[in-house]
Structure 1
Protein backbone atom coordinates (compact mmCIF):
# COMPACT_ATOMS: atom_id res chain seq x y z
CA UNK A 1 0.00 0.00 0.00
CA UNK A 2 1.35 3.39 -0.96
CA UNK A 3 2.14 5.74 1.90
CA UNK A 4 -0.23 8.65 2.44
CA UNK A 5 1.50 11.86 1.31
CA UNK A 6 2.35 14.24 4.13
CA UNK A 7 0.03 17.21 4.51
CA UNK A 8 0.89 19.96 4.18
CA UNK A 9 3.77 19.05 1.86
CA UNK A 10 7.15 20.61 2.56
CA UNK A 11 6.96 22.29 -0.85
CA UNK A 12 3.80 24.25 0.05
CA UNK A 13 4.24 28.02 -0.49
CA UNK A 14 4.61 30.21 2.61
CA UNK A 15 3.10 33.64 3.22
CA UNK A 16 2.74 36.10 6.08
CA UNK A 17 -0.74 37.59 6.39
CA UNK A 18 -2.03 40.55 8.40
CA UNK A 19 -5.11 38.71 9.65
CA UNK A 20 -4.88 36.81 12.95
CA UNK A 21 -5.51 33.14 12.27
CA UNK A 22 -7.64 30.47 13.94
CA UNK A 23 -9.13 27.14 12.93
CA UNK A 24 -11.68 27.75 10.18
CA UNK A 25 -10.63 31.36 9.56
CA UNK A 26 -11.15 32.43 5.95
CA UNK A 27 -8.33 34.49 4.43
CA UNK A 28 -8.91 36.49 1.24
CA UNK A 29 -5.75 37.54 -0.58
CA UNK A 30 -5.34 39.93 -3.49
CA UNK A 31 -2.54 41.99 -5.02
CA UNK A 32 0.99 40.59 -4.95
CA UNK A 33 0.12 37.70 -2.63
CA UNK A 34 -2.67 36.46 -4.89
CA UNK A 35 -0.52 36.91 -7.98
CA UNK A 36 2.27 34.88 -6.38
CA UNK A 37 -0.06 32.01 -5.46
CA UNK A 38 -2.12 31.90 -8.65
CA UNK A 39 0.37 32.82 -11.37
CA UNK A 40 3.72 31.77 -9.93
CA UNK A 41 2.83 28.79 -7.72
CA UNK A 42 -0.32 27.96 -9.76
CA UNK A 43 -2.33 26.80 -6.75
CA UNK A 44 -5.74 25.20 -7.23
CA UNK A 45 -8.64 24.47 -4.83
CA UNK A 46 -7.55 21.88 -2.29
CA UNK A 47 -3.85 22.79 -2.43
CA UNK A 48 -1.97 23.55 0.79
CA UNK A 49 -0.46 26.92 1.70
CA UNK A 50 1.47 27.72 4.89
CA UNK A 51 0.35 30.95 6.54
CA UNK A 52 1.95 32.93 9.37
CA UNK A 53 0.32 35.86 11.14
CA UNK A 54 3.22 37.08 13.36
CA UNK A 55 0.91 36.56 16.35
CA UNK A 56 -0.31 32.99 16.80
CA UNK A 57 2.28 31.16 14.70
CA UNK A 58 2.32 28.97 11.60
CA UNK A 59 -0.81 27.45 10.07
CA UNK A 60 -1.66 24.95 7.35
CA UNK A 61 -4.35 26.39 5.09
CA UNK A 62 -6.30 24.94 2.18
CA UNK A 63 -7.08 26.85 -1.01
CA UNK A 64 -10.86 27.32 -1.36
CA UNK A 65 -10.94 29.51 -4.46
CA UNK A 66 -8.10 30.46 -6.80
CA UNK A 67 -8.69 33.24 -9.29
CA UNK A 68 -6.27 35.34 -11.30
CA UNK A 69 -6.65 38.32 -9.00
CA UNK A 70 -7.78 36.83 -5.71
CA UNK A 71 -7.23 33.67 -3.69
CA UNK A 72 -9.32 32.51 -0.74
CA UNK A 73 -7.93 30.09 1.84
CA UNK A 74 -9.22 28.40 4.97
CA UNK A 75 -6.94 27.90 8.00
CA UNK A 76 -7.05 24.20 8.91
CA UNK A 77 -4.60 23.58 11.75
CA UNK A 78 -1.80 25.29 13.62
CA UNK A 79 1.56 23.71 12.92
CA UNK A 80 3.82 25.75 15.23
CA UNK A 81 3.34 28.55 17.76
CA UNK A 82 5.04 31.87 17.13
CA UNK A 83 8.70 31.35 17.96
CA UNK A 84 10.57 33.29 20.61
CA UNK A 85 13.53 34.82 18.80
CA UNK A 86 16.90 35.28 20.55
CA UNK A 87 17.01 38.64 22.33
CA UNK A 88 19.50 40.18 19.94
CA UNK A 89 19.19 43.53 18.16
CA UNK A 90 21.16 44.57 15.11
CA UNK A 91 21.87 48.31 14.90
CA UNK A 92 23.38 48.89 11.46
CA UNK A 93 24.31 52.34 10.20
CA UNK A 94 22.50 53.16 6.96
CA UNK A 95 24.37 52.05 3.84
CA UNK A 96 23.76 52.39 0.12
CA UNK A 97 20.37 50.92 -0.77
CA UNK A 98 21.44 47.59 -2.25
CA UNK A 99 23.90 46.91 0.55
CA UNK A 100 21.42 47.79 3.26
CA UNK A 101 18.82 45.58 1.57
CA UNK A 102 21.28 42.71 1.97
CA UNK A 103 21.70 43.48 5.68
CA UNK A 104 17.93 43.49 6.19
CA UNK A 105 17.49 40.19 4.37
CA UNK A 106 20.33 38.34 6.09
CA UNK A 107 19.60 39.71 9.56
CA UNK A 108 16.10 38.30 9.21
CA UNK A 109 17.38 34.92 8.04
CA UNK A 110 19.93 34.77 10.85
CA UNK A 111 17.26 35.26 13.52
CA UNK A 112 17.64 38.86 14.72
CA UNK A 113 14.77 39.96 16.95
CA UNK A 114 14.97 43.69 16.16
CA UNK A 115 16.62 45.75 13.44
CA UNK A 116 17.32 49.31 14.55
CA UNK A 117 18.79 51.45 11.73
CA UNK A 118 21.26 54.11 12.86
CA UNK A 119 22.23 57.45 11.31
CA UNK A 120 25.85 58.52 11.81
CA UNK A 121 27.83 61.47 10.49
CA UNK A 122 29.32 59.51 7.58
CA UNK A 123 26.14 57.76 6.47
CA UNK A 124 25.34 58.09 2.77
CA UNK A 125 21.58 58.00 3.54
CA UNK A 126 19.38 59.41 6.27
CA UNK A 127 15.99 57.77 5.64
CA UNK A 128 14.34 54.51 4.64
CA UNK A 129 11.22 53.51 2.75
CA UNK A 130 9.31 51.73 5.53
CA UNK A 131 7.05 49.82 3.14
CA UNK A 132 10.01 48.56 1.14
CA UNK A 133 11.88 47.52 4.29
CA UNK A 134 8.84 45.62 5.54
CA UNK A 135 8.53 43.81 2.19
CA UNK A 136 12.20 42.76 2.26
CA UNK A 137 12.13 41.32 5.77
CA UNK A 138 8.76 39.63 5.19
CA UNK A 139 10.00 37.87 2.07
CA UNK A 140 13.16 36.81 3.91
CA UNK A 141 11.11 35.47 6.84
CA UNK A 142 8.93 33.47 4.46
CA UNK A 143 11.99 32.03 2.73
CA UNK A 144 13.71 30.89 5.94
CA UNK A 145 10.53 29.63 7.69
CA UNK A 146 10.50 32.15 10.53
CA UNK A 147 7.18 32.42 12.33
CA UNK A 148 8.01 35.84 13.80
CA UNK A 149 8.92 38.94 11.83
CA UNK A 150 11.77 41.08 13.17
CA UNK A 151 10.80 44.29 14.91
CA UNK A 152 11.74 47.33 12.82
CA UNK A 153 12.81 50.59 14.41
CA UNK A 154 12.70 54.00 12.78
CA UNK A 155 16.18 55.28 11.79
CA UNK A 156 17.70 57.00 14.83
CA UNK A 157 20.68 59.31 15.11
CA UNK A 158 23.55 57.75 17.06
CA UNK A 159 23.41 60.34 19.83
CA UNK A 160 19.68 59.73 20.40
CA UNK A 161 20.17 55.97 20.31
CA UNK A 162 22.80 56.12 23.05
CA UNK A 163 20.83 58.61 25.13
CA UNK A 164 17.80 56.32 25.27
CA UNK A 165 19.68 53.02 25.40
CA UNK A 166 18.15 50.47 27.85
CA UNK A 167 20.27 49.93 30.95
CA UNK A 168 19.95 46.14 30.82
CA UNK A 169 21.15 45.59 27.23
CA UNK A 170 24.82 45.28 26.25
CA UNK A 171 25.76 47.13 23.05
CA UNK A 172 28.68 45.55 21.20
CA UNK A 173 30.41 48.19 19.12
CA UNK A 174 32.37 46.89 16.13
CA UNK A 175 35.35 49.27 16.22
CA UNK A 176 37.84 49.05 13.37
CA UNK A 177 40.48 50.49 15.73
CA UNK A 178 40.24 47.44 17.98
CA UNK A 179 38.58 45.92 20.99
CA UNK A 180 37.97 42.54 22.59
CA UNK A 181 37.81 39.73 19.99
CA UNK A 182 34.14 39.28 19.13
CA UNK A 183 33.87 35.58 19.97
CA UNK A 184 35.48 36.18 23.36
CA UNK A 185 33.22 39.15 24.11
CA UNK A 186 30.07 37.28 23.07
CA UNK A 187 31.00 34.18 25.11
CA UNK A 188 31.49 36.23 28.26
CA UNK A 189 28.19 38.10 27.95
CA UNK A 190 24.78 37.15 29.28
CA UNK A 191 21.39 38.77 28.92
CA UNK A 192 19.95 41.00 26.18
CA UNK A 193 22.46 42.15 23.60
CA UNK A 194 22.80 44.33 20.52
CA UNK A 195 25.41 44.94 17.84
CA UNK A 196 26.31 48.34 16.35
CA UNK A 197 27.88 48.40 12.89
CA UNK A 198 29.20 51.58 11.28
CA UNK A 199 28.74 53.12 7.80
CA UNK A 200 31.00 52.87 4.75
CA UNK A 201 33.31 55.58 6.09
CA UNK A 202 33.36 54.29 9.64
CA UNK A 203 32.70 56.26 12.83
CA UNK A 204 34.42 59.61 13.27
CA UNK A 205 36.54 60.41 16.34
CA UNK A 206 33.74 62.24 18.15
CA UNK A 207 31.34 59.31 17.70
CA UNK A 208 33.99 56.84 18.82
CA UNK A 209 34.64 58.82 21.99
CA UNK A 210 30.91 59.03 22.68
CA UNK A 211 30.57 55.28 22.26
CA UNK A 212 33.52 54.35 24.40
CA UNK A 213 32.29 56.61 27.20
CA UNK A 214 28.89 54.87 27.37
CA UNK A 215 28.63 52.34 30.19
CA UNK A 216 26.66 49.77 28.15
CA UNK A 217 28.98 49.85 25.13
CA UNK A 218 31.55 47.07 24.68
CA UNK A 219 34.10 47.68 21.87
CA UNK A 220 34.90 44.53 19.87
CA UNK A 221 37.08 43.63 16.93
CA UNK A 222 36.00 41.50 13.98
CA UNK A 223 39.50 40.43 13.02
CA UNK A 224 42.54 41.82 11.23
CA UNK A 225 40.77 42.93 8.04
CA UNK A 226 38.58 45.98 7.49
CA UNK A 227 35.14 44.69 6.53
CA UNK A 228 32.42 46.40 4.55
CA UNK A 229 29.42 47.41 6.65
CA UNK A 230 27.19 44.67 5.24
CA UNK A 231 29.90 42.01 5.70
CA UNK A 232 30.53 43.05 9.29
CA UNK A 233 26.81 43.01 10.14
CA UNK A 234 26.25 39.55 8.68
CA UNK A 235 29.45 37.97 10.00
CA UNK A 236 29.12 39.30 13.55
CA UNK A 237 25.44 38.42 13.76
CA UNK A 238 26.19 34.86 12.64
CA UNK A 239 28.94 34.62 15.25
CA UNK A 240 26.63 35.80 18.05
CA UNK A 241 23.93 33.34 16.97
CA UNK A 242 26.48 30.51 17.11
CA UNK A 243 27.82 31.52 20.52
CA UNK A 244 24.78 32.86 22.37
CA UNK A 245 21.80 32.43 20.02
CA UNK A 246 19.63 29.50 19.04
CA UNK A 247 21.90 27.75 16.54
CA UNK A 248 22.97 25.04 19.00
CA UNK A 249 19.48 24.17 20.23
Structure 2
Protein backbone atom coordinates (compact mmCIF):
# COMPACT_ATOMS: atom_id res chain seq x y z
CA UNK A 1 0.00 0.00 0.00
CA UNK A 2 1.42 3.46 -0.86
CA UNK A 3 2.96 5.13 2.18
CA UNK A 4 0.69 8.16 1.63
CA UNK A 5 -2.16 5.96 2.84
CA UNK A 6 -0.24 4.17 5.60
CA UNK A 7 -1.35 6.62 8.29
CA UNK A 8 -5.05 6.13 7.56
CA UNK A 9 -7.19 3.84 9.72
CA UNK A 10 -7.62 0.38 8.19
CA UNK A 11 -10.77 -1.69 8.62
CA UNK A 12 -11.59 -5.23 7.61
CA UNK A 13 -15.09 -5.60 6.16
CA UNK A 14 -17.07 -8.51 4.74
CA UNK A 15 -18.65 -6.67 1.82
CA UNK A 16 -17.33 -6.79 -1.74
CA UNK A 17 -15.17 -3.81 -2.70
CA UNK A 18 -15.29 -2.17 -6.12
CA UNK A 19 -14.96 1.32 -7.61
CA UNK A 20 -17.91 3.63 -6.93
CA UNK A 21 -19.36 1.15 -4.46
CA UNK A 22 -20.56 1.96 -0.95
CA UNK A 23 -20.02 0.15 2.33
CA UNK A 24 -22.22 0.54 5.40
CA UNK A 25 -20.26 -0.32 8.52
CA UNK A 26 -21.69 -2.30 11.40
CA UNK A 27 -22.48 -0.60 14.69
CA UNK A 28 -19.17 -1.45 16.35
CA UNK A 29 -17.04 -0.19 13.46
CA UNK A 30 -19.22 2.89 13.07
CA UNK A 31 -18.72 3.79 16.72
CA UNK A 32 -15.00 3.22 16.38
CA UNK A 33 -14.65 5.60 13.45
CA UNK A 34 -17.16 8.27 14.46
CA UNK A 35 -16.91 8.27 18.26
CA UNK A 36 -13.39 6.97 19.04
CA UNK A 37 -11.40 8.30 16.07
CA UNK A 38 -13.83 11.22 15.55
CA UNK A 39 -13.88 10.80 11.80
CA UNK A 40 -16.35 12.98 9.93
CA UNK A 41 -17.89 13.16 6.48
CA UNK A 42 -15.11 13.66 3.95
CA UNK A 43 -12.42 11.89 5.99
CA UNK A 44 -10.72 8.88 4.43
CA UNK A 45 -9.94 5.34 5.59
CA UNK A 46 -8.66 2.15 3.97
CA UNK A 47 -10.89 -0.93 3.68
CA UNK A 48 -9.99 -4.53 2.85
CA UNK A 49 -11.88 -7.83 2.86
CA UNK A 50 -9.20 -10.42 2.03
CA UNK A 51 -10.49 -10.76 -1.55
CA UNK A 52 -10.42 -7.43 -3.37
CA UNK A 53 -7.23 -5.72 -2.22
CA UNK A 54 -7.09 -2.48 -0.22
CA UNK A 55 -9.42 0.37 -1.10
CA UNK A 56 -9.36 4.05 -0.27
CA UNK A 57 -12.78 5.04 1.04
CA UNK A 58 -14.37 8.29 2.15
CA UNK A 59 -17.01 8.82 4.79
CA UNK A 60 -20.29 9.91 3.23
CA UNK A 61 -22.13 9.59 6.55
CA UNK A 62 -20.68 10.03 10.03
CA UNK A 63 -23.65 8.93 12.14
CA UNK A 64 -22.11 7.20 15.17
CA UNK A 65 -24.16 4.04 14.72
CA UNK A 66 -24.24 3.85 10.91
CA UNK A 67 -21.19 5.17 9.08
CA UNK A 68 -21.33 4.82 5.29
CA UNK A 69 -18.25 5.00 3.09
CA UNK A 70 -17.90 5.54 -0.63
CA UNK A 71 -15.15 3.57 -2.38
CA UNK A 72 -12.72 5.76 -4.34
CA UNK A 73 -9.86 3.62 -5.69
CA UNK A 74 -7.89 0.47 -5.08
CA UNK A 75 -4.59 1.38 -3.39
CA UNK A 76 -3.11 -2.12 -3.18
CA UNK A 77 -3.85 -5.31 -5.14
CA UNK A 78 -4.96 -8.42 -3.33
CA UNK A 79 -2.11 -10.63 -2.15
CA UNK A 80 -2.25 -14.40 -2.52
CA UNK A 81 -3.18 -16.25 0.66
CA UNK A 82 -0.27 -17.79 2.53
CA UNK A 83 0.09 -21.57 2.50
CA UNK A 84 1.94 -21.65 5.84
CA UNK A 85 0.14 -23.68 8.53
CA UNK A 86 0.72 -22.83 12.19
CA UNK A 87 -0.45 -25.03 15.05
CA UNK A 88 0.04 -24.34 18.74
CA UNK A 89 -1.04 -25.54 22.16
CA UNK A 90 -3.32 -22.79 23.56
CA UNK A 91 -1.85 -20.54 26.24
CA UNK A 92 -3.47 -18.36 28.86
CA UNK A 93 -5.53 -15.43 27.58
CA UNK A 94 -3.04 -12.58 27.10
CA UNK A 95 -0.35 -14.79 25.60
CA UNK A 96 -2.97 -16.56 23.49
CA UNK A 97 -3.92 -13.21 21.99
CA UNK A 98 -0.24 -12.50 21.40
CA UNK A 99 0.49 -15.68 19.44
CA UNK A 100 -2.55 -15.17 17.19
CA UNK A 101 -1.48 -11.61 16.46
CA UNK A 102 2.16 -12.52 15.83
CA UNK A 103 1.30 -15.50 13.63
CA UNK A 104 -0.81 -13.16 11.50
CA UNK A 105 2.01 -10.63 11.28
CA UNK A 106 4.51 -13.36 10.40
CA UNK A 107 2.45 -14.56 7.45
CA UNK A 108 0.65 -17.69 8.65
CA UNK A 109 -2.17 -18.65 6.30
CA UNK A 110 -3.90 -21.09 8.64
CA UNK A 111 -3.85 -20.96 12.43
CA UNK A 112 -5.07 -23.92 14.47
CA UNK A 113 -5.05 -24.53 18.23
CA UNK A 114 -3.91 -28.08 19.06
CA UNK A 115 -4.85 -29.65 22.37
CA UNK A 116 -2.11 -31.69 24.04
CA UNK A 117 -1.74 -33.48 27.35
CA UNK A 118 -0.17 -30.46 29.05
CA UNK A 119 -2.20 -27.74 27.31
CA UNK A 120 -3.02 -24.98 29.80
CA UNK A 121 -6.56 -24.33 28.57
CA UNK A 122 -8.97 -26.36 26.48
CA UNK A 123 -12.07 -24.15 26.10
CA UNK A 124 -11.45 -21.41 23.57
CA UNK A 125 -13.56 -18.53 22.31
CA UNK A 126 -13.15 -18.97 18.58
CA UNK A 127 -14.63 -15.56 17.81
CA UNK A 128 -11.96 -13.90 19.97
CA UNK A 129 -9.19 -15.68 18.08
CA UNK A 130 -10.65 -14.56 14.76
CA UNK A 131 -11.00 -10.99 16.04
CA UNK A 132 -7.34 -10.97 17.11
CA UNK A 133 -6.24 -12.13 13.65
CA UNK A 134 -8.34 -9.42 12.00
CA UNK A 135 -7.03 -6.73 14.35
CA UNK A 136 -3.43 -7.74 13.61
CA UNK A 137 -4.14 -7.66 9.87
CA UNK A 138 -5.66 -4.18 10.21
CA UNK A 139 -2.63 -2.86 12.08
CA UNK A 140 0.07 -4.45 9.94
CA UNK A 141 -1.26 -3.95 6.40
CA UNK A 142 -1.89 -7.67 5.92
CA UNK A 143 -4.45 -8.15 3.14
CA UNK A 144 -5.01 -11.90 3.48
CA UNK A 145 -6.38 -12.60 6.94
CA UNK A 146 -5.38 -16.12 8.05
CA UNK A 147 -8.03 -18.76 8.45
CA UNK A 148 -8.44 -19.56 12.15
CA UNK A 149 -9.59 -23.15 12.58
CA UNK A 150 -11.26 -24.73 15.58
CA UNK A 151 -9.13 -26.51 18.14
CA UNK A 152 -8.25 -30.16 17.53
CA UNK A 153 -6.65 -32.89 19.62
CA UNK A 154 -3.08 -33.80 18.75
CA UNK A 155 -3.86 -37.45 18.07
CA UNK A 156 -6.68 -36.49 15.69
CA UNK A 157 -4.46 -33.94 13.95
CA UNK A 158 -1.81 -36.59 13.28
CA UNK A 159 -4.32 -39.22 12.21
CA UNK A 160 -5.88 -36.87 9.64
CA UNK A 161 -2.70 -35.05 8.55
CA UNK A 162 -1.83 -36.81 5.31
CA UNK A 163 -5.47 -37.06 4.23
CA UNK A 164 -6.16 -33.36 4.81
CA UNK A 165 -2.71 -31.87 4.25
CA UNK A 166 -1.33 -34.02 1.45
CA UNK A 167 2.42 -33.50 0.97
CA UNK A 168 2.73 -30.86 3.70
CA UNK A 169 5.65 -31.38 6.08
CA UNK A 170 5.21 -30.61 9.75
CA UNK A 171 8.09 -28.88 11.53
CA UNK A 172 8.07 -29.77 15.20
CA UNK A 173 9.67 -27.46 17.74
CA UNK A 174 11.42 -29.96 20.00
CA UNK A 175 13.95 -28.78 22.56
CA UNK A 176 15.26 -32.34 22.83
CA UNK A 177 16.01 -32.67 19.10
CA UNK A 178 19.59 -33.64 18.31
CA UNK A 179 20.10 -30.98 15.64
CA UNK A 180 22.37 -28.13 16.73
CA UNK A 181 20.91 -25.77 14.12
CA UNK A 182 17.50 -25.82 12.43
CA UNK A 183 18.69 -24.10 9.25
CA UNK A 184 19.72 -27.18 7.27
CA UNK A 185 16.68 -29.18 8.39
CA UNK A 186 14.28 -26.44 7.29
CA UNK A 187 16.16 -25.82 4.03
CA UNK A 188 15.76 -29.51 3.18
CA UNK A 189 11.98 -28.98 3.08
CA UNK A 190 12.15 -26.40 0.29
CA UNK A 191 9.58 -27.21 -2.38
CA UNK A 192 7.10 -28.71 0.07
CA UNK A 193 4.25 -26.92 1.81
CA UNK A 194 5.05 -26.77 5.51
CA UNK A 195 3.49 -26.33 8.90
CA UNK A 196 4.93 -25.44 12.30
CA UNK A 197 3.77 -27.04 15.55
CA UNK A 198 4.60 -25.43 18.90
CA UNK A 199 3.81 -27.34 22.09
CA UNK A 200 2.64 -26.11 25.50
CA UNK A 201 4.75 -24.54 28.23
CA UNK A 202 5.25 -27.94 29.86
CA UNK A 203 6.31 -29.47 26.57
CA UNK A 204 4.84 -32.51 24.89
CA UNK A 205 4.47 -35.67 26.93
CA UNK A 206 6.84 -38.57 26.26
CA UNK A 207 4.06 -40.48 24.50
CA UNK A 208 3.21 -37.46 22.34
CA UNK A 209 6.85 -36.97 21.34
CA UNK A 210 7.16 -40.66 20.47
CA UNK A 211 4.06 -40.45 18.30
CA UNK A 212 5.18 -37.21 16.61
CA UNK A 213 8.66 -38.46 15.83
CA UNK A 214 7.25 -41.65 14.31
CA UNK A 215 5.34 -39.73 11.63
CA UNK A 216 7.07 -39.69 8.21
CA UNK A 217 5.95 -36.10 7.59
CA UNK A 218 7.41 -34.67 10.83
CA UNK A 219 10.78 -32.91 11.04
CA UNK A 220 11.89 -32.18 14.61
CA UNK A 221 14.10 -29.12 15.07
CA UNK A 222 15.83 -27.46 17.98
CA UNK A 223 15.99 -23.68 18.50
CA UNK A 224 19.45 -23.85 20.02
CA UNK A 225 20.88 -23.96 23.55
CA UNK A 226 18.14 -21.95 25.27
CA UNK A 227 14.67 -23.12 26.24
CA UNK A 228 12.18 -20.67 24.74
CA UNK A 229 8.74 -19.83 26.04
CA UNK A 230 6.00 -21.13 23.77
CA UNK A 231 5.06 -17.68 22.47
CA UNK A 232 8.72 -16.80 21.81
CA UNK A 233 9.23 -20.13 20.05
CA UNK A 234 6.29 -19.38 17.77
CA UNK A 235 7.80 -16.13 16.52
CA UNK A 236 11.27 -17.67 16.23
CA UNK A 237 9.99 -20.68 14.30
CA UNK A 238 7.86 -18.67 11.90
CA UNK A 239 10.74 -16.25 11.28
CA UNK A 240 13.10 -19.11 10.48
CA UNK A 241 10.65 -20.68 8.05
CA UNK A 242 9.94 -17.39 6.28
CA UNK A 243 13.64 -16.52 6.05
CA UNK A 244 14.86 -19.93 4.85
CA UNK A 245 12.07 -21.25 2.61
CA UNK A 246 9.27 -18.69 2.89
CA UNK A 247 8.40 -15.27 1.53
CA UNK A 248 11.35 -13.41 3.11
CA UNK A 249 13.78 -14.87 0.57
Determine if the TM-score, normalized by the shorter chain, exceeds 0.5: yes
Give 1:39 deviation, angstroms: 2.0
Q: Which residue of 1 aligns with 2:215?
A: 214
**Alignment: residue pair count:** 243
Distance 1:57 1:9, change over 3 A: closer
Q: Is the 8 A contact 1:96 1:125 kept in 2?
A: yes
Alpha carbon RMSD of aligned pairs, Å? 1.6
Distance 1:133 1:7, change over 3 A: closer
Q: Is the 8 A contact 1:93 1:118 kept in 2?
A: yes
Q: Which residue of 2 aligns with 1:182?
A: 182
Give 1:167 deviation, angstroms: 3.1
Q: Which residue of 2 aligns with 1:200?
A: 201
In 1, distance between residues paired with 2:64 and 2:166?
A: 52
Q: TM-score, normalised by structure 1?
A: 0.93
1:87 aligns with 2:83: yes
Distance 1:170 1:179, change over 3 A: farther
In 1, distance between residues paired with 2:143 and 2:85?
A: 17
In structure 1, the gaps of 5 or more residues are: 1-5
In 2, distance between residues paired with 1:96 and 1:160?
A: 23
In structure 2, the gaps of 5 or more residues are: none
Distance 1:86 1:183, change over 3 A: farther
Give 1:36 deviation, angstroms: 1.6
In 1, distance between residues paired with 2:128 and 2:67?
A: 23
1:34 aligns with 2:33: no
Distance 1:55 1:9, change over 3 A: closer
In 2, distance between residues paired with 1:7 and 1:184?
A: 37
1:233 aligns with 2:219: no
Structure 1 stretches (4+) deviating beyond 4 angstroms?
Answer: none
Q: Which residue of 1 aligns with 2:62?
A: 66
Residue correspondence of structure 1 range 10-29 to structure 2 within 5 A: 10-29=6-25
Give 1:233 deviation, angstroms: 0.7
In 2, distance between residues paired with 1:9 and 1:211?
A: 46
Q: TM-score, normalised by structure 2?
A: 0.93
Q: Is the 8 A contact 1:175 1:219 kept in 2?
A: yes
Q: Secondary structure of 1:215's match?
A: coil
In 2, distance between residues paired with 1:17 and 1:240?
A: 30
Q: Which residue of 1 aligns with 2:48?
A: 52
Give 1:32 deviation, angstroms: 2.1
In 2, distance between residues paired with 1:205 and 1:8?
A: 53
